[in-house]
Structure 1
Amino acid sequence: MQFFVLSLGLLLAACASGPPLSLAKSVDIQRYSGDWYIIAEIPYVGERGNVGSTVKYTPLPNGHVLDEYFAHQHDFAAPITHASFDDYVVDGTGNALWRVRLFWPIFVSYPILDVDAAYTTALVGYPDRSLGWIFSRSADMTDADYQAQLTKFAAQGYDPTAFRRVPQHPDQIGKAGFE
C-alpha cells in the first residue's frame, strides 16, 4: 500500500509543470553514486513524517541507476521501510537530468540542481518546484551550511520555508524546523 501511495503522490506531482530549473553543469555518476542522507525536503506523501531517511544510488551494467530509498516511519524504533526505482540519465544533460520509473510506464523527472565539487552535498528538485531535497554524505549539517543550501534553492525560485529538516538523530524529532 505504501508503494501505491508513494507512486500516486509522485504521479500527481508529475502532472504539473513550471519554469525550467537550472541543472548542475555536469554530474559524475560514479562520484554521485553511493549513500546520501536526506537533510531536508519538500516531501511527497510517501516521505512525510519519515526519519533517518537516506537514498542510495548504484550504477547498473545496462547504464541505468538503481535508486533506493530507506527510512523509518515517524520513529527510529520503527522498522526501516525500503523502496527501489529504476532511473536512467537523459542524454545531453551532463548527467544532471534523470528519469525515475515508478512503475511501467510511469516516469518522473529527477533534476540534479547542484553538487558541490567534493560530492558531499547535492540539491535535487522537481520541475514545478513542489518537491526538493538536500542531500549530504554526512547525517549532520551545520545551520550555516543548511541556510546556504536553502539560498541556492531560493535562487531557483523555490520557497525556502517549504523545506523541512529530516531528523537524522532521535533527539532531533520534534525540534523546531524538523518534520
Structure 2
Amino acid sequence: MSFMKRSFGFSAKSIVPRDDFPRAQLVDLDRYMRDWYVIAHKPPSITRTAHNSVERYRRGGDRRIDVTFTFRKDGFGGKLKTLRPTGFVVPETGNAVWAMQFIWPIKMQFVIAYVSDDYRHTIVARERLDFVWIMSSEPSIESNDYNRLVERVARIGYNPAHLRVVPQQKTGRS
C-alpha cells in the first residue's frame, strides 16, 4: 500500500472497490484504448443534458491513461465541451480499476465493471453507485445488447430507472 501512496498520490483503500464489487477480471489496455460512445449513464451534473458524449482513451505511459471526453451541451447543436482527465491504472487489479483525476490532487474511483469479449461494449461503475456509464465502440447498439447491459447495471446495484440514454448522432464525431 505504501508503494501505491508514494507512486500515485492516493490511497488504494479509497480507490479499490470491495472484493465483491463487480469488475472485469483482466482488461487488455491496448484493446481498451479507443473511442467509447456513451450510450447511457447515471450522469454527473455536468453531463445531465449531454449529447454525442465520447470518451477517448490513449496510453500515456506505463500505467497512465490520457483521456479526452467530449460532449455537446443541451443538444446536437449545443456548445462542444472537452474535459481531459488522467487515469492511473491501479496495480494488481487486472487493469480494471483506475484512479481518475479531473482536478489535482483529487482522484476518483473508476471501475471497469464489464467489458465484452470483443471489446465492443463496456460498463464503468463506482462502488458508491453515484455514477455509471454504458459505452460502446459504435454510436448505437442493438436493443438486445443494450438490455443485457442494463441488466448488468441493475445487478451491480444501480436503479435502471435512473439511467439516461445519451443521444448520439450516427455520422461524424462529437
* TM-score (normalised: structure 1): 0.81
Please, what is the CA RMSD of the aligned residues? Answer: 1.9
Q: Any residues of structure 2 matched to 1:29-178 within 5 Å, and which?
A: 29-169=29-169
Contact map agreement 1:18 1:129 (CA 8 A) in 2 = no
Unaligned runs of 5+ in 2: 1-13
Distance between the aligned counterparts of 1:121 and 1:24, measured in 2?
Answer: 12
Alpha-carbon shift at residue 19 of structure 1 (Å): 9.0
- Tell me the secondary structure at the aligned position of residue 85 of structure 2: strand
Show CA shifts across 1:37-74 (max 9, x none): 00000000111101011100000135300011100011
Residue equivalent to 1:11 = none
CA distance in 1, matches of 2:93, 2:18: 18
Which residue in the other structure is 2:21 paired with?
21
Aligned partner letter, 2:45: V
Identical positions, percent: 27
Question: Hey, which bits of structure 1, 4+ residues long, moved more than 3 A?
Answer: 17-20
Whether contact under 8 Å (1:19, 1:127) holds in the other structure is no
What CA distance in whole angstroms lies between the structure 2 residues aligned with 1:64 and 1:149? 27
Which range moves more in the overlay, 153-162 or 113-122?
153-162
- Between the aligned partners of 2:167 and 2:30, the Cα distance in structure 1 is 27
Query: Partner of 1:46: helix, strand, or coil?
Result: helix
Shift of 1:79: 3.2
* Secondary structure at 1:52 match in 2: strand
Following the alignment from structure 2 to structure 1, what is the Cα–Cα distance between the partners of residues 19 and 151?
18
- The answer on whether the counterparts of 1:27 and 1:96 sit within 8 Å (CA) in structure 2 is yes
- What is the TM-score with the length of structure 2 in the denominator? 0.84
Number of residue pairs aligned between Structure 1 and Structure 2 = 155
Name the CA distance, whole Å, in 1 between partners of 2:18 and 2:118: 30
